[in-house]
Chains A and B, each alone.
Chain A
């Protein structure tokens, strides 16, 4: 049973650039959430996608946007990168049965120079 997968594992970008991160949910899951985790902190909720729509959003600027595809996979896009966007970006999926429990992928480490 494949778990949550994310790509790429690491990424280095320059201030002002744009980045796209990708996530495939756990088999059988239809809901994807994205989180940003700074070093030494807990994950911060960015947004959640369900049925290809953004269902809820955290306190992140519009530079952060996303998309969910018909196969439930998802992308996180960040425009106009700032140094402060350097973090571990985590994708989590949940699905039928136990909708509250989320399972996380390994994350994408983004470094903005």
Chain B
């Protein structure tokens, strides 16, 4: 069965302290892996789509990477405004269903 597991559940960083969030996935055939940011009470905001192992994408302080088993979201020199829940999701090649992980709650302290 397709599954997405995110770790850690919560992460507390000091401003400027770089770190990585992990997304492990099990899927029969990967159509795409997605990263979203979600602020409390709001809809997820799209960050990245990755399609194949070895692919990397960057946006400001964020960089997403993909292997055959997992994806990492690297946050470089985070700021308090980066505090949010980061969601990872996958789609498999056999359908149109998107499966989400439970998310990593990131807290960045000034």
Q: Give chain A's interface residues, CB within 8 Å of chain B.
A: 4, 6, 33, 35, 40-45, 48, 50, 55-56, 58, 88, 90, 98, 100-107, 109
Q: Given A42-B87, A48-B97, does the pair A101, B42 have CB atoms closer than 8 Å?
A: no
Interface string of B31-49 (1 = CB under 8 A from A): 1101010000111111001
Please report B residues at the A interface, Cβ cutoff 8 Å: 4, 31-32, 34, 36, 41-46, 49, 51, 87, 89, 91, 95-103
Which of A88, A100, A103, A105 has most B Cβ within 10 Å? A100
Measured CB to CB, the closest approach of chain A to B45, in angstroms, equals: 7
Tell which of A45, A105, A109 touches B99, judged by Cβ atoms closer than 8 Å: A45
Residues from chain A with Cβ under 8 Å of B100 in the complex: 35, 42-44
Say how far B60's CB is from chain A's closest CB, in angstroms. 18
Nearest B residue (CB) for A48: B96
Other-chain contact of A33, B4, B87, B98 (Cβ < 8 Å): B98
CB <8 Å contact, B91 and A90: no
Are A100 and B91 in contact, CB atoms less than 8 angstroms apart?
yes
Closest residue of B by beta carbon distance from A103:
B46
CA distance A42 to B45 in the complex (A): 13
B49 surroundings in chain A (CB, below 8 A) = 98, 100-101
Residues on B with C-beta less than 8 A from A35 are 100
Instruction: For residue B26, give the distance in angstroms from its CB to the closest CB of chain A.
Output: 15
Q: With the chains together, A101 CA to B100 CA distance in Å?
A: 13
Given contacts A42-B87, A42-B100, 16 further A-B contacts (CB under 8 A): A6-B43, A35-B100, A40-B102, A41-B103, A43-B87, A43-B100, A48-B96, A56-B95, A56-B96, A88-B41, A90-B43, A101-B32, A102-B98, A104-B36, A104-B45, A107-B42
The answer on a CB contact under 8 Å between A58 and B97 is: yes
Give every chain B residue within 8 A of A45 (Cβ-Cβ): 97-99
Chain B residues near A44 (CB-CB < 8 A): 100
Q: Is the CB of B103 within 8 A of A109?
A: no
A40 to B99, CA, bound (A): 16
A-B contact pairs, 17 of them (CB 8 A): A33-B96, A35-B100, A42-B87, A42-B89, A42-B102, A43-B44, A43-B87, A43-B89, A44-B100, A50-B96, A56-B96, A90-B43, A100-B51, A104-B44, A104-B45, A107-B42, A107-B43
